[in-house]
């Protein structure tokens, strides 16, 4: 099994992070994985929880994030007309290059 880290998003403090990775199994199939990781001085980084996505789920996530970002980039008149609808939750992701 191979594991390639695509990005690391910092957590609330220095001991938590969200990792986006591509994992490939022995059969050659790869999947996108989100891992919530914690740090311990005794063991280093370890996976607290893991969410694997198939290709269709990854595409749907990309479409959702892209459309939400595009909706938020409109001008003030568009925002004023949209104020009658509930506000969307803003995702604040701090980009960090995995190293």
Give residue limits of the domains in the chain. Answer: 2-69
pLDDT for res 42: 95
Q: What digits encode the pLDDT tens for the residues 46-55?
A: 999 999 998 8
Q: Give residue 28's pLDDT.
A: 81
What is the pLDDT at residue 26?
A: 85
pLDDT of residue 75: 52
Model confidence at 61: pLDDT above 60 = yes
Query: Burial, 17: exposed, middle or buried (Cβ in 10 Å; 0-12, 13-18, 19+)?
Result: buried
Q: Is 28 exposed, middle or buried (0-12, 13-18, 19+ CB in 10 A)?
A: exposed
Residue 40 pLDDT level (bands cut at 50, 70, 90): very high
Question: How would residue 6 be classed by pLDDT, with cut points 50, 70 and 90?
Answer: very high
CATH topology of domain 2-69: Nuclear Transport Factor 2; Chain: A, (3.10.450)
H or E element, residue 82:
helix 76-82
């Amino acid at each position: 099994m191979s594991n390639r880290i695509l990005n690391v998003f910092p957590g609330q403090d220095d001991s938590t992070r969200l990792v986006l990775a591509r994992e490939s199994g022995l059969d050659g199939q790869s999947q996108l994985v989100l891992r919530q990781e914690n740090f311990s001085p005794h063991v280093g980084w370890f996976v607290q929880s893991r969410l694997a996505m198939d290709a269709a789920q990854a595409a749907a996530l990309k479409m959702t994030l892209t459309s939400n970002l595009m909706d938020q980039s409109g001008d003030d008149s568009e925002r004023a007309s949209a104020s009658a609808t509930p506000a969307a939750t803003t995702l604040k992701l701090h980009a960090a290059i995995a190293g």
